[in-house]
Amino acid sequence: MAVSVANCSFSVLNASVKLQSSCVSSPWCFVAASQKKSLNLKRKSSRSDSSSPILNPETQKNYPGRVRDDSPNPPQKMAFKAFGSPKKEKKEPLSDFSRDQQTDPGKIHDASFLNAVVKVYCTHTAPDYSLPWQKQRQFTSTGRHVFFIHIAFMIGDGKLLTNAHCVEHDTQVKVKRRGDDRKYVAKVLVRGVDCDIALLSVESEDFWKGAEPLRLGHLPRLQDSVTVVGYPLGGDTISVTKGVVSRIEVTSYAHGSSDLLGIQIDAAINPGNSGGPAFNDQGECIGVAFQVYRSEETENIGYVIPTTVVSHFLTDYERNGKYTGYPCLGVLLQKLENPALRECLKVPTNEGVLVRRVEPTSDASKVLKEGDVIVSFDDLHVGCEGTVPFRSSERIAFRYLISQKFAGDIAELGIIRAGEHKKVQVVLRPRVHLVPYHIDGGQPSYIIVAGLVFTPLSEPLIEEECEDTIGLKLLTKARYSVARFRGEQIVILSQVLANEVNIGYEDMNNQQVLKFNGIPIRNIHHLAHLIDMCKDKYLVFEFEDNYVAVLEREASNSASLCILKDYGIPSERSADLLEPYVDPIDDTQALDQGIGDSPVSNLEIGFDGLVWA
């Protein structure tokens, strides 16, 4: 049975998902107190000299802590600027380990690089998505606060690196160095949800005295030794487990619901390893421990975020002053392994992937059509199995090339359309989710009208309300519908706060609101805008399944004040809805809500021949 492991609350949570009335267990779990739910979480289930990260000598001298991926065919060249040492005047190397110096496994407890590993104490809180006006509620146990313990490690310039899921919804984060009994306050600078990485800072100079940040190593080869450190189940002293690199491939990131490069290892990863570094024999950090795959049929399958993903995250943050996220192409692709299929599409060679669907919100919708065959990406040929060359003698999923890009980058695609070869350029941008997997800022948007509470549908709300309560129709839309324009949301009536004005509407919870006074709803901000502008006598809400709710406008305004007071609600709407409304689309754009014929996430595609890029 698959289990999701909760860090340092010392409990095990069942990561079960529901398929109508059936209950199945998901084997994916990241090592923290979080769970993912979906209709179907089926898992699809010798380094050459060029695999070494050869940096420009001057860059290597100035920034010894950063590396890049030097595969023979990198999709784009990137010079990474490292976070330096916390004391800028300090010029000595950041690590005592050279590339030719091996760490004695028997003396690893004395290795200096372990001193860069710190314990992270978090007081976890979480928004109440079913009561969106609530402040964040704090997890408690027998009336006491529960502290979750994770791991972080020093990368220099007063910065620490850990997993994004380790500092989710936290109001307070403290860190403690190995061998020190003092805790220091840390600040979360930025979280990369899709890559499950977060950056922390510690302002105290005492914390950094004598500190030596870790050196980021190269992408390892198969069977390379790997050492994972952490504080399993909390623990007072550091724990070390060893193993080897079992596989390197594009991997499903459970927390971020994304597909990025991952390193599979057989070293034990347990609660308390989240955010901890994985080392090679030279004492270099080759990645960040973040999730495990558990089932009755498998064992010792852990995953590490490679340093190439870490460097992408840091570079994104340095470039933009914030994290913009990984871009996507926005197309659903089918493999072209069948010769008859290739012949029908007039593809003369054994290459290419078929475009089956293009997301309207992606820039690819301007240049790609269903039926196009993508045969190259930045002049790198794409095989009929959807793979591209990787390092010297390996192949990897085509979407790996997309993950090497940054938001706003341009990719050149070679396509075959009706037998004709073409070259098109596409701007790559982060994917737009109709139903978001995470909510920026933590607090959901809401507006209350005479006791009717409206809020956007989100995966956290589905998880909190339970899939049975949400209903199959809304759940299907969440899994199979893509956004038709940026800013689109599914707005639902999450609950009804009973009073004399809304009598008869008490059982309309979790219904999607489609129209207000005959106008289709585009998002929660649009609904609030329409309500504010309304001068009619009645407020008419039209819901899914032909339900309708009518409120008298003046009576509703009077009732709302009493309801807020009776229920102790500070405001009738969230702060973001106080901002002026900006229409996200042209009025002439069609707004018919439709349900697609394929899942919107690779986690839910049960057929190996289809994949979102």
Q: Which residues are catalytic?
A: 165, 196, 274
The CA distance from 256 to 165, in Å, is 9
3-state secondary structure of 50: helix
Which residue type occupies 168?
A: E
Beta-carbon neighbour count of residue 149 at 10 Å?
A: 23
- Are 342 and 384 a contacting pair, CB within 8 Å? yes
The CA distance from 510 to 561, in Å, is 23
Give φ, ψ of 40 to 5 degrees: -155, 115
Check the CA dihedral 128-131-133-139 and report its sign.
Answer: negative
Which residue type occupies 232?
A: P
Give φ, ψ of 421 to 5 degrees: -80, 135
DSSP 8-state assignment for residue 431: P
The CA distance from 465 to 462, in Å, is 5
Which residue type occupies 75?
A: P
Q: Enter the tokens of residue 148.
A: 């979750």
Beta-carbon neighbour count of residue 591 at 10 Å?
A: 15
- Are 54 and 44 a contacting pair, CB within 8 Å? no
- The CA-CA-CA angle for residues 284, 290, 295, to 5°, reads 125
3-state secondary structure of 110: helix
3-state secondary structure of 5: strand
The CA distance from 227 to 302, in Å, is 12
The CA distance from 4 to 291, in Å, is 9
DSSP H or E segment with residue 465: helix 459-465
Give the position of tokens 């994916």. 28
In sequence order, the 6+-apart residues with CB closer than 8 A to the CB of 455 are 129, 132, 444, 445, 446, 461, 491, 492, 494, 524
DSSP string, 282-299: TS-EEEEEEEEE-BTTB-
Please give the sequence-ordered ranges of beta strands (E in DSSP) within 307-379, or none if there are none.
Answer: 331-335, 353-358, 373-377
169, 149, 159: which is closest to 230 by C-alpha?
Answer: 149
50, 46, 49: which is closest to 70 by C-alpha?
Answer: 50
